[in-house]
Amino acid sequence: MSELIYKEESNLIIGAAIEAQKNMGIGFLEPVYQEVLEMEFIERGIPFEREKELLIKYKGRDLKKRYYADFVCYDKIILELKVCESISKVHESQVINYLNATNFKLGIIINFAVIPLEFKRIVL
């Protein structure tokens, strides 16, 4: 079995999300979880950029339209937060597009609407 990419960093991010959900519970909208997760990241010393603008190119030219990832952690992991029944293929496609736009290798989707916390790692 191959080693997980960015295993330690991923575990720290997911641990922060679990703590955020444990303290907030379920039923809030995504911006609430963004804010409490930001607090957890600061408390734990996890480097991040919130609502990070991602550049999109077409045939080598920059588009005016931009993507905004909920978080970029450690300058290499895209983190998308969801509040939904379950993580869907549409959510996975969104993160794949973000990864392709940035050439990052790992994206994590976290769904705060279910207990236990649902997450999915997307690796390119």
pLDDT in tens, 46-74: 999 999 998 888 888 888 988 899 999 99
> Would you state the pLDDT for residue 102?
85
> Would you state the pLDDT for residue 120?
97
Domain with 37, as residue range(s), is 7-123
HSE (side-chain half, CA atoms, 13 Å) at 76? 10
Q: Which of 112, 98, 18, 82 is nearest to 123 (CA)?
A: 98
2 found inside a domain: no
Other residues' Cβ atoms within 10 Å of the Cβ of residue 73: 24
> Would you state the pLDDT for residue 59?
87
> Would you state the pLDDT for residue 3?
74
Measured CA to CA, the distance from residue 36 to residue 30 in angstroms comes to 10
28 found inside a domain: yes
Quote the number of domains for the chain: 1
Please identify every stretch of the chain with a pLDDT value under 70, giving residue numbers as ranges: 1-2
With tokens 């279910």, the residue in question is 114
pTM for this prediction: 0.93
